[in-house]
Amino acid sequence: MAIRIKARSGESVEQMLRRFKKLCEKEGLTKDIKRRQYYEKPSERRNREARRTQPRRPISP
């Protein structure tokens, strides 16, 4: 999975970098890198996923 950016005519390096960052964000690479920055035990991952999929209960007065 390689993201390639070709220079458009009259495009500056800053504009190319901005397009590259947007593509990385769109592909979910930055989120994945941040998630993998620290080791997470498999049990912690399962617990996090279980909490995420659990339906939320409304708070009754």
DSSP state letter for 54: S
Q: Which pLDDT belongs to residue 1? A: 62
pTM of the model: 0.57
Helices (H), the chain: 13-27, 29-35, 42-53
Exposure string (b/e) for 19-51, b if CB count within 10 Å is 16 or more? Answer: beeeeeeeeeeeeeeeeeeeeeeeeeeeeeeee
Q: Answer whether residue 41 is part of any domain.
A: yes
Q: Answer whether residue 22 is part of any domain.
A: yes
How many alpha carbons lie under 13 Å from residue 52 in its C-beta half-sphere? 6
Asked if pLDDT for residue 50 goes beyond 90, the answer is: yes
Q: Which pLDDT belongs to residue 58? A: 81
Q: Answer whether residue 47 is part of any domain.
A: yes
Owning domain of residue 20: 16-51
Is 5:21 a contact under the CB 8 Å cutoff?
no
Q: Answer whether residue 7 is part of any domain.
A: no
Q: Answer whether residue 6 is part of any domain.
A: no
Domains of the chain: total:
1
Confidence class for position 47, pLDDT limits 50, 70, 90: very high
Reported as a single tens digit per residue, the pLDDT across 5-42 is 889 999 999 999 999 999 999 998 888 899 899 999 99
Of 21 and 1, which is predicted with more confidence? 21
